[in-house]
Each structure stands twice: as C-alpha cells, then as structure tokens.
C-alpha cells in the first residue's frame, strides 16, 4: 500500500515540510506557530495551469505542470515537482524562469503519484 504523504506549510516563513512516516504528528510548529496541513487541490477552474500532466515513454516519465504552461515569475510560480511510488521518491526544485517541466526515471509499469506546489495556489496532485 502506498503511503499518502502529508505536507505542512509555515504561515510565517512559507517553509514546507513533508512527513516521511505514516504516523507523523499533526501538531508541528515553525516560527513559534502551528503549521498548516496542506490538501491537494482539485479545483477544475485552476487545473488548466496547475494540474501535473504526466507522459510516459519507456522508463522516462515527463511531468508538465498545466495543460497551458504555468507561469514562472517571482510572484507566481511552481516551486517543485515530486514523483512518488511505493519504492521511490524524486523531487526537483524549480526557480524563476525555468519551465515547469521535469523528466524522471521511473520503471514503466510502476504506478506513481505526482505532486506540484504553486506558491499562490498550493499543492496539486495527479496519479498515473
């Protein structure tokens, strides 16, 4: 069974923490305040530019954030893309000016969950 990770965000410094154990506590703090548990977005209105789109070719899994490429400005950008399966986790960090596209090496028959994080619209997820 694939463990569903928990992502937390600090409301003060915007730090993001990912729990790596299924029994992680829900009372994490940062900057002296409780961290917010993030839920993956599924808003249809925003999916055109936020939902991770997955394409597989052999062992290459390419993720493009948005059917229309997500903007990558300082004010509005995808900060990272992560691919998770039962036995692997890979993440890339993006910066202003990068395209919100990443290629990961994943065995072709391995199901994955793909996450992306937008600094304005939060956490997004796709399963492939």
**pLDDT of 31 above 60:** yes
CATH 3.10.20 fits 1-38, yes or no: no
Burial class from Cβ neighbours inside 10 Å (0-12, 13-18, 19+) for residue 105 reads: exposed
Q: Is domain 40-127 given the CATH code 2.60.40.730 in the classification?
A: yes
Average predicted confidence (pLDDT) for the chain: 89
Q: Which residues of 5-43 are buried (b: 16+ CB within 10 A; e: fewer)?
A: bbbbbbeeeeebeebeeeeeeeeeebeeeebeebebbee
Domain boundaries defined on the chain: 1-38, 40-127
Name 20's Cβ contacts closer than 8 Å, sequence gap at least 6.
Answer: 5
The predicted structure's pLDDT at residue 94: 96
**pLDDT value for 45:** 55
Percentage of residues of the chain with pLDDT beyond 70: 92
Q: What are phi and psi of 26, to 5 degrees?
A: -105, 10
DSSP state for residue 71 in the 8-state scheme? P
């Amino acid at each position: 069974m694939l463990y569903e990770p928990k992502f937390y965000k600090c409301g003060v410094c915007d730090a993001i923490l990912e729990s790596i154990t299924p029994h992680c506590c829900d009372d994490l703090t940062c900057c002296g305040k409780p961290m917010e548990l993030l839920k993956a977005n599924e808003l249809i209105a925003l999916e055109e530019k936020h939902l991770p789109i997955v394409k597989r070719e052999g062992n290459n899994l390419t993720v493009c954030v948005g059917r229309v490429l997500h903007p990558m400005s300082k004010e509005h950008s995808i900060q990272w893309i992560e691919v998770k399966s039962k036995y692997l986790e890979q993440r890339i960090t993006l910066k202003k000016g990068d395209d919100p596209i990443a290629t990961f090496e994943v065995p072709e028959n391995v199901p994955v969950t793909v996450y992306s994080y937008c600094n304005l619209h939060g956490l997004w997820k796709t399963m492939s």
